[in-house]
Chain A
Amino acid sequence: MGVKVKLISGRTVAQGQNLDNKLSEEYFNAVALCELNAADMTKIGVSPGENVKVSTKYGTVVVKAKQGAGNPEGIAFIPMGPWANAVVSGDTKGAGMPQYKGIDAEIEKTEEQVLQIRELMQQYMK
């Protein structure tokens, strides 16, 4: 069974280092992941490196689980990038700004594979 969290997305050093290098494996490894608190990881029985499925009102995406040092229980962090954006809200509520942070999400362990960037983009082109 999944755990309910508030989902945050944002910049990291590794993400920034690969800004101009997004089709690379380095970028994939830097960004296609979800930082969770240790307790939350135990709840869903996932260990670092295994895949988790992140579901919100706006979509679903599979990323690798990572233990986030600073993450309090109930808060998940995905680095800014296409994987995070597959599940954030585009509703700007008349302010022009999507909601990239503080989204209600459910996270569960999964055997599904993490999509590569090309596969992610293909989904939108349907």
Chain B
Amino acid sequence: MQQISLKLKEEVMKGVAKIPIVVDSLTPDKLFGKSESEIKAEKVWWGNRQENTGDLFEVEVDGEAGSASEVKIVLDGDLSRVKYIGAGMTAGEIEANGDVDMHCGAMMRGGKITVHGNADCWAGREMHGGELLIEGDAGANLCAMYRGEITGMTGGKVVVEGDAGECVGQYMAGGEILIKGNVDILAGLNMKGGRITIEGNAVMPGADMTGGEIIVKGKVEDMIPSFRFVEVSTLDGAQYRKYSGDLAMTEKQAKGLLYVRA
């Protein structure tokens, strides 16, 4: 195993403006096989200028790795304006100690990301595989698609210990999302496959679903008026009201399933 520690220097986020840093170049895949000095020389965008990773982060490398999957990156410092953490990664591990900015785990294909804090919007956007664990809250568009696309998450597993924002799993086609807290409006919007489980409450879940399933263990506020009640069914011991929809479309398209704790 190899551990690469990247600690954002304090002065970087000290100004009146908190200017984001884009770190999609700092994944296990891309840093595997690089020496400490090579990593320090890796370019990252800070606003409209490119900087050396070493100028923005304190960099430490411990141990050896035989492949990207043996690389673990640990991020520290104020990460609230550090974007694209683990974006596109296929292997290895990233641990972020603190709140992270947008697109964490976007386009991820493999490996694991753990966020010890909140993740801003678009975490797990267009995710295809791997694991994403967010110990705090997730912002809007968790595991959703990019504007205009008709497919969001296709695979992998995402767990949010806290609450999640609007449009969780929009256009989701596969994979699993577990939200332990509450979700804002329109979870599973345009969903066509996969499963979203919400342990807390949801508002207007399942709109324009054509497939997949949403399970709400808490209460539903403002139920979408175009779902059809099917039956009371039992999921691992508990009773749920089972709905099919969304019938704001033709009967033929409306193949989504929504379970709400009875």
Interface of A with B (CB < 8 Å)?
Answer: 93-95
Q: Interface code B104-129, partner A: CB below 8 Å = 1, 0 otherwise?
A: 00000000000000000110000000
Q: Which residues of A contact B189 (CB under 8 A)?
A: none
Interface of B with A (CB < 8 Å)?
Answer: 121-122, 139-141, 165-167, 184
Q: Report the Cα distance A117→B122, complex, angstroms.
A: 37
Q: Which residue of A lies closest to B102 (CB)?
A: A94
A-B pairs with beta carbons under 8 A, tally? 14
Q: Report the Cα distance A94→B184, complex, angstroms.
A: 12
Nearest CB of chain B from residue A46's CB, rounded to whole Å: 32
Q: Report the Cα distance A93→B165, complex, angstroms.
A: 7
Can you list 14 residue pairs at the A/B interface with Cβ under 8 Å?
A93-B140, A93-B165, A93-B166, A93-B184, A94-B121, A94-B122, A94-B139, A94-B140, A94-B141, A94-B165, A94-B166, A94-B167, A95-B140, A95-B166
Majority DSSP secondary structure for residues of B touching A: loop
Q: Report the Cα distance A9→B13, complex, angstroms.
A: 35
Q: Which residues of B contact A94 (CB under 8 A)?
A: 121-122, 139-141, 165-167
Q: Which residues of B contact A95 (CB under 8 A)?
A: 140, 166
Nearest CB of chain A from residue B68's CB, rounded to whole Å: 31
**Pairs of residues from A and B, 7 with the lowest C-beta to C-beta distance, nearest first:** A94-B140, A94-B121, A94-B141, A93-B140, A93-B166, A93-B165, A94-B139
Q: Which residues of A contact B121 (CB under 8 A)?
A: 94
Not counting A94-B165, A94-B167, a sample of 9 additional A-B residue pairs whose C-beta atoms are within 8 angstroms of each other reads A93-B140, A93-B165, A94-B122, A94-B139, A94-B140, A94-B141, A94-B166, A95-B140, A95-B166
Q: Which residue of A lies closest to B139 (CB)?
A: A94
Nearest CB of chain A from residue B171's CB, rounded to whole Å: 14
Q: Which residues of A contact B165 (CB under 8 A)?
A: 93-94
Nearest CB of chain B from residue A11's CB, rounded to whole Å: 26
Nearest CB of chain A from residue B20's CB, rounded to whole Å: 15
Q: Which residues of B contact A93 (CB under 8 A)?
A: 140, 165-166, 184
Nearest CB of chain B from residue A91's CB, rounded to whole Å: 9
Q: Which residues of A contact B141 (CB under 8 A)?
A: 94
